[in-house]
Each structure stands twice: as structure tokens, then as C-alpha cells.
Structure 1
Amino acid sequence: MLWAFAGVASLTGSLLGDGWGNVPTWVALLVAVVGGLALGEAAGFLQWYFTRYVIDTAEVRVERGILTKTSRRMPFERIQSVDIAEPLLARAFGLAELRIDMAGGDDAGTTLRFLTLEEARATRRLLLDRAHGREHDASVRHDVQGDLVAEASPAQVLLGTLVSLDFVIAVLGGVGLLVASLVAGQVVVFLGGVVAVGTWLIQIVGQRVIRQWGFTLHRTPDGLRIERGLLSRTSQTIPFARVQGVAVHEPFVWRRLGWSRLDVDVAGYAKAGGDDATATSSTLLPIADREVTARVLETLVPGAFSAEPDVQAPSRAWPVDPVAWRFRRVGSNEQGFTAREGWVERRTSVVPHHKVQSVEVRQGPLGRRLGLATVEIHTPDGPVDADGKNLDAETARSVALAELDLARTARRGA
């Protein structure tokens, strides 16, 4: 729709410039808006009208196209997850998107636009039943809600945002800019700064609160199901088998309040996210008490957080890590490899041994001189970083060899 609007607006401006100068500006703008909306809606309608999908006993087939026809076949055994998104405009008409994600990379899935919300839920249930080899009962039209694991109230999300590090930095930076402009007597700069800083802060708060509004996390037979969103609503399922690692974030103020955020590495979600309120998210818990976070962690990686990481970076790492070296620790137990770092915002990352793809010991020129090395635990791209940075070189090699043995053993038993 945006490209259609831009095209009509450009054409209208061109025509006005070529001889329609007596037409009022508001008329030209009205023509551009109405024309752009009409063209965009027509394009969307044609795309929807020429899209067909067929679900048989072995696969789901999606066919679309007006001049050029495309047909995409998705075998049930390759379907990883099926999510429902309700963008704002579609939600107003009771419509939703069905997002089918498959094994095979970032572009392996497809999206069905638009179905009624009831039809989207019934289709998701059918696809998940077929994908997991379950008997499908067509008389049951609703989703399996599952057991409630966690929820985050809008008030808690708002308070957590107001005391988060990036919000505090934005406030302090904005206040500093405004004070400097007043001292310099730049009233125009001051007013412009008020608008810019205010818009920035509202965007930080609004985006997080609106996106995570009404957040709930349920445990279902297909995985953990997230539902969130005020204006645009999303129902996203994270299969247990696709979780490659987890990361617990504890900002400074949050630690005093007993709060944390939980992110997950999910296979196929490397490029997820963005500004779209319905985009796939790697945030499993936007904010939660420690007890709730621990319960979810035990569900995903049982026993992995039972032992504290006990290998610390040596004090001679201070030339390359003046402050952070004190807070860098790694360790492992029978379930996974753990790395912890950070003081202002403490982050604890855990990767199950059977999800480790490879292990590398990296040492630069300065590291060789100081006897330091970094252990890199390779996993799919995502928010989890379980590297052991600036460890003693011999210790790093021992940690890497031990992790390779643990990963090899875990993969055999997986």
C-alpha cells in the first residue's frame, strides 16, 4: 500500500507542476491519499483473491499469483511452528495472518493472508496435529490453551521500562542537551530538543508497553505459546526442540527488584524482530520475577542453572577489560555450558551441550602477550552469547576440550 500511495502522490505532484497550478493544494493531497489508498487496497484484494491453499494428507500447498503463478509445497514433517498475527487493520475486521515456519532457513516458511480469526485458529490446530502425527478432531474448533506459566501486567512492563538502562540514559542525555541549549541561549534548539527527546522517550515506552501488552505464556503440547500486543495481537509458539540457548538479562535496578528478562535462541529466528509489532520475537519473558524465570528455565534446559560458573577471567586481563574482567565467568555441568558477564546489566547465557555446533579458542596478538584467550561457543545467530572472553590461555583450552567432549556425548544421547 505504501508504494501505491507514493506512486499516486508523485504522479499528482507531477501533474500539478505541469499545468494544474490552479488546483488547491488540499485537493491535490486528497487525490493522492484517496488514489493511493484505492490502489493499495485493490492490489491487496487481488493478492488475496488469487491466493489458494490446499491441505491434504501429506502436505499443505499454497498457490498464488496473478500473471505468474507460484506453488509452494510444505510437507507436514518439515513444519516447525504455526503462528497467528492480527495486524491492527486486519484485527478491526476480525481477520488474521497465519505464519507457517518450516525447517530449512529464514525463507522456508510462508504467510496466509487473510483468514477469519476462527479459521486461522482451526487451521493452525489442523497443521500442528498433522505435523506432530496426532489424530485431528475437526469438531474441536478452538486452540489448546495449555497451562499458564507466566504473565506480565502492563503496569509491570511500564515500570520496568522506566527504570531500564537505555531509558535512563535517554533521559540523562536529553536533560543534558536541554540544559546546554538553555545556557547557550538557544531557545529554538531548546524547543526542538524538547520535541525530539520527548518523541524518543515516548517511542521507547510506547513500543515496549504496546508490544508486550497483555503478555501471557502458556505451556502447550506443541511448545511455549506467547500471546501479546495491544493494537496488533500476536500468538507465537516456540517448540521446545528449536530452542538453541537461553539468556537471562538482569539490569542493575531490576536486580534490586528481583526482576529479569529471558531471551531465547530459536532455530530459524535469526532475522526475526524489527519494528513490526507482530514480528516474531526472541523474547520469551519481557519481565518476570526470579522464581518465574527459574521455572521457565527449568522447563527449557532442566538442571542447567543448578551450578554457578566457576572459571573467572584472571586479573591480568584488566588492560583489555578494565572493569568487565571481574564479572566474566564460565562453567558447565552435565546439561549445558554457562557464561556470565556484566555488572550494570548482568547477563547469564546457557547453551545445552547437544545444541553446541562447534567450539573455538581465539587468541589475538595482545592476548598471546598477556596469556589470554577467548572460548567461543558457536550456535545459530541470535541473542544468546555464551563465549568465555579473556580467560587464562591454558584454562581456555581446557574449557574448550571439555566442552567438545560434553557436546559429543550429549549429541549421541539426544
Structure 2
Amino acid sequence: MSPPSTADPRSDEFDWLTLDPDEEVVWSGIPHVLSIVPALVVGVPLSLILVGIPIVVSAYLGRKNTEYVLTTDALYKKRGILSRDVKRIGFEKVQDTSYTQDFLGTRFGYGTVEISTAGGAGVELSFDDVPDPKRVQELVNERIRARGRGDGETKSDVLSDVLAELRAIRAAVEADDGATDTAVAEAADTFDYPDSEE
């Protein structure tokens, strides 16, 4: 009898992904099957002269070798046919999300979800041609909100801290004004004014 396996079951499905012990996969996907239609439209007629075959094959392999993963901590994108390129963006860096759909995407229910980060130059990561991009964007936004609540500091806490700081500044200014008024009065009493009678 063989001992039970201690390997992470996620490692079989995502052999390219290394997750933290408490990190869980929330959503995963690949580009929509109909996203290769433009390559078919161009490639099939051109296949008569053998030029279209590489177009169709590269579109198919590109789709099959692209994966997107949304976890409790970050967004991951893996692509590459002969090599592998994996990109990760943690939710603490995400500043903005949006999604777009072209004509075919609107008709067949796929589109691109774009993620911008703080300090980044435009879109840093995109999930291209994913099914139901609106839902994927909602999942990303939910994880961002959940992460914001998870750090223990709410908007109310931040506002309370700001208010306490403002009160401390006001008290310091008022105390400084009282000391300044006393110093001015003492200086006025000891100052020897010249006679103005001439």
C-alpha cells in the first residue's frame, strides 16, 4: 500500500504557478475558443498557398498556451509556446481595472480585462479574450476590496487618525499663540519708548 500523496493538488493543474501556503485560486481561465476566428478567417484562404497554415497554428497554440489565474493575493498570466513567461501583480499594487469588448467579443461573450498599477505606465497586465470579462473584472475588484478590509484599517479608522492629528496640531498652535501673546506683552512693558514731545 502506497503512502498518501502530500503534494499540493493545485500543482498538477498549474505546474507553472507557485502559491503561498494560504493563497487560494479564486478563478482561472484561458482565452475564449472563438477568439481565434479572425486568424481562421485570414489563415484558411491563405492555406492554399501554405502561408495561412502558420497563422492558424500559431493562433491555436497561442490560445492553448495562455492561462490566467486570479488568487486571493494576486493576478497571474502565463503565456508562451516554446518558452514560458509568467507575470504576477499583487492586489496591493492594483490601482484600476477595466474591460473592453470588440464586435465579436460582444456577440460571443468574451473580452479583455486590463489592470493598471500604482506608479505604472498604463496597463501593466491584461487578461485577453477571456469569457465574461465583466464578471472577471468584478472578481478582481472584490479581491481588491477584500484585501483592503483585511488589513484591519477601515476608512473610519483613517478619518479618526486624521482628526486626532488635526486636533493635536490645533492645540499646539493655540498653545504657541498664548506663549507668543505673553512674550509680546512682556516686551511691551519693558520697552523704553522715546518721547514724542518736541
* TM-score, L = length of structure 1: 0.23
Decide which structure has greater helix share: 2
- Of structures 1 and 2, the one with the larger relative CO (CA 8 A, separation 6+) is 2
* TM-score, L = length of structure 2: 0.45
**Bigger CA radius of gyration:** 2
Decide which structure has greater strand share: 1
